[in-house]
Amino acid sequence: MRYALAWTAIVFCCTAAATRSDVDQIRALRLENNRAILARDVAALRRPWKPNVHLLASDGSSWTGVEQLARSYANAEFKDPNFVEYVRIPTQIRIAADGVHAAELGNWTAIDKPPERVRSGTYLASWEKIDGSWKIVYEAYVALNQAPQSVADVVHPAATLHLGGTPDWLAVTPDSVWVANDALKSVQRVDVASNELVARVALPDPPCSGLAVGFGSVWVPLCGARPSLARIDISRNAIAEILPVGPALSEGGITVSDDSVWLVVKDGVLARIDPATNRVRQRVAVATGSYNPLFAGGIVWVTSGSHDLLTAVEAAGGHVVSTIPVGSKPRFLAAGNGLIWTLNQGDGTVSKVDADRKRLIANVRAMIPGGGGEIAYGAGSAWATIVGVPLTRIDAATGQVTHWGGRGGDAVRFGAGSIWLTDYHDGLLWRMPVPGR
């Protein structure tokens, strides 16, 4: 992190009498700071810094002031094609007795594309509340390099498939794992019995918004000059048709119910596609910022990152029956154990929603920062992934959260008794056993 950043002796006078709102504000600002680094967004990166912000490196180098520090990121990491991101996860945030100063202690990981090594360590940050807003005054880092180089070094895979490109979205059937690979503009098919790549279907545009399997087909949203939807015939491993309807944006999703395919085709518009005709048969108005649908228990569930909502649409009639407040900026979701689990990009939580009663049970502090990622359910747990924190387990019975760090991550599914996890930046797909079994 910042060229092997180091620890420095800084004394903060802190107290446990912190209000939850202050702690949560600092935690949210840190997660936003992580996302800004991943997105190479200099303007967003600058927002939480005090004008005279100071950052200290292990060799004694330092950066002082917003302009100098922003230029450092823009001219170094953001121009480095091998740099992926810095992930900082706060482990403790303490608010001072005066209510305007705070200390943040946490762990950091620096992810670069192979063959560069993963760097990691701890950090300490000083915050100050100015005109009601928390700002970073000082950051100091120590490099310990104790994190694994790859999640596969800890959760040893039963199989490693070198798919190439950037494997992203996954869909699992009883006999296959389907992988959307945007860099290769294709969908790849992996046989679960042999753990071998058995087919690759070329696409006219990059797959960009999830995968769904149903009606003898794999449904693949495509992002191009004109977004569209590819229908792949499973029996022939070939495109059956390209539908002239496409996703509203990338990083969305698609799902299949008993009689329809569901895809958000415009902000706030959930389309119901008839697989018999390949035509839109119904359009359902949902909250703006809703892009990710999931069918479970007769309901199409859709997250809205703009309004922090989970919308329940009755699949039979296509009517909205409930809206449930969840964590900040929910995106991806999974179903399991009578719950809907939402991965919330705004605050790093995972929300648990009672699927029958349609009410929020809890926001689990999973501490998963940043955008992208995915969540799945299997073997009594929810499994989440983001680049930098490739695997997080939330035990449905106990609520215990376990992280596995290192390189890897971005897409996860559970099927055939295994966890299927991609390494987006190294072109890999891992088949992993359930940890602890």
User: Is there a domain that residue 77 lies in?
Assistant: yes
The model's pTM: 0.87
Residue 10 pLDDT: 33
The answer to whether 84 and 360 have CB atoms below 8 angstroms apart is: no
Please provide residue 47's backbone torsions phi and psi, each rounded to the nearest 5 degrees: -60, -40
Model pLDDT, residue 20: 58
- Domain edge (last residue) among 90, 125, 143: 143
Residue 2 has pLDDT above 60, yes or no: no
Q: What percent of the chain has pLDDT over 70?
A: 95
Number of compact structural domains in the chain: 2
pLDDT digits (tens, 9 = 90+) for 138-193: 999 999 988 888 999 989 999 999 999 999 999 999 999 999 999 999 999 999 99
User: Could you report the per-residue pLDDT of 340-387, keeping only the tens digit for each?
Assistant: 999 998 888 999 999 999 999 999 999 886 678 899 999 999 999 998
> pLDDT band at residue 251, thresholds of 50, 70 and 90?
confident
Query: CB of 389 within 8 A of CB of 368?
Result: yes
Name 373's bridge partners. Answer: none
In this structure, is residue 13 part of a structural domain? Answer: no
In this structure, the answer to whether residues 128 and 174 fall within a common structural domain is no
Residue 209, domain extent: 151-432
> Which residues, at least 6 apart from 123, have a Cβ–Cβ distance to it below 8 Å?
1, 5, 88, 104, 105, 106, 107, 108, 139, 140, 141, 142
61 and 175 housed in the same domain: no
pLDDT tens digit string along 218-249?
999 999 999 999 999 999 999 999 999 999 98
Q: What's the CA gap between 10 and 94, in Å, rounded?
A: 14
Instruction: Say what the pLDDT of residue 11 is.
Output: 35
139, 189: one domain: no
Q: How confident is the model at residue 32 (pLDDT cuts 50, 70, 90)?
A: confident
Please report whether residue 266 resides in a domain: yes
- Is there a domain that residue 8 lies in? no
Q: Is it the case that residue 83 has pLDDT exceeding 60? A: yes
Peptide bond into 244 cis (omega under 30): no
Is 274 in the same domain as 326? yes
Q: Is the pLDDT of residue 17 over 50?
A: no
Bridge partners (DSSP) of residue 362 are: 352
pLDDT above 60: residue 200: yes
3-state secondary structure the chain: CCCCCCCCCCCCCCECCCCHHHHHHHHHHHHHHHHHHHCCCHHHHHCCEEEEEEEECCCCCEEECHHHHHHHHHHCHHHCCCEEEEEEEEEEEEECCCCCEEEEEEEEEEEECCCCCCEEEEEEEEEEEECCEEEEEEEEEEECCCCCCEHHHCCCCCEEEECCCCEEEEEECCCEEEEEECCCCEEEEEECCCCEEEEEEECCCCECCCCEEECCEEEEEECCCCCEEEEEECCCCEEEEEECCCCCCCCCCEEECCCCEEEEEECCEEEEEECCCCEEEEEEECCCCEEEEEEECCEEEEEECCCCEEEEEECCCCEEEEEEECCCCEEEEEEECCEEEEEECCCCCEEEEECCCCEEEEEECCCCCCCCCEEEEECCEEEEEECCEEEEEEECCCCCEEEECCECECCEEEECCEEEEEECCCCEEEEECCCCC
- Hey, what are 64's tokens? 């002082």
Q: Is 250 exposed, middle or buried (0-12, 13-18, 19+ CB in 10 A)?
A: middle
List the structure tokens of 135.
């700002």
Q: 182 and 326, same structural domain?
A: yes
Tell me the β-bridge partners of 299. 296, 314
pLDDT at 3: 30
**Which whole number is the average pLDDT over 9-19?**
39
Closest by CA position to 247, among listed 230, 263, 260, 262:
263
Beta strand pairing call for 62-64 and 401-404: unpaired
Give the model's confidence band at 437: pLDDT under 50 very low, under 70 low, under 90 confident, else very high.
low
Task: Examine the pLDDT at 89 and tell me if it is beyond 90.
Answer: no
Q: In terms of domains, do 118 and 247 share one?
A: no
Report whether pLDDT(274) > 80.
Answer: yes
Residue 12 lies in a domain: no
Return the structure tokens found at 235. Answer: 């029996």
Answer yes or no: do 322 and 208 share one domain.
yes
Residues 62 and 84 in one domain: yes
78 and 220: one domain? no
Q: Mark whether 190 and 259 lie in a shared domain.
A: yes
* Domain-located, residue 10: no
What integer best gives the mean pLDDT of the chain? 92
Last residue of a domain, one of 83, 115, 143: 143
Domain final position from 143, 159, 187: 143
With 50 as the cut, is the pLDDT of residue 304 above it? yes
> Quick check: is 169 in a domain?
yes
For residue 18, name the pLDDT band (cuts at 50, 70, 90): very low
Joined together, the tokens standing for residue 423 give 């390494």
Evaluate the CA torsion angle 344, 437, 410, 294 in order and state its sign. negative
Q: How far is 88 from 70, CA to CA, in rounded Å? A: 18
The per-residue pLDDT for 219 is 98
Please, which pLDDT band fits residue 411 given cuts at 50, 70 and 90?
A: very high
Indicate if 81 and 197 belong to the same structural domain.
no
CA distance 272 to 256: 9
- 116: CATH: 3.10.450.50
Tell me, yes or no, whether 244 lies in a domain: yes
Tell whether 229 and 308 lie within a shared domain.
yes
Residue 146 pLDDT: 84
pLDDT at residue 239, as a whole number = 98
Distance CA 13, CA 21 (A): 19
- Residue 4: the pLDDT is 33
pLDDT tens string 262-273: 999 999 999 999
The per-residue pLDDT for 38 is 86
Instruction: Convert 300-325 into a string of H (helix), E (strand) and C (coil).
Output: EEEEECCCCEEEEEECCCCEEEEEEE
pLDDT per position as a tens digit, 102-128:
999 999 989 898 888 889 999 999 999
**What CATH number is given to the structural domain containing 183?**
2.130.10.10
- Cα–Cα distance, 345 to 371 (Å, whole number): 6
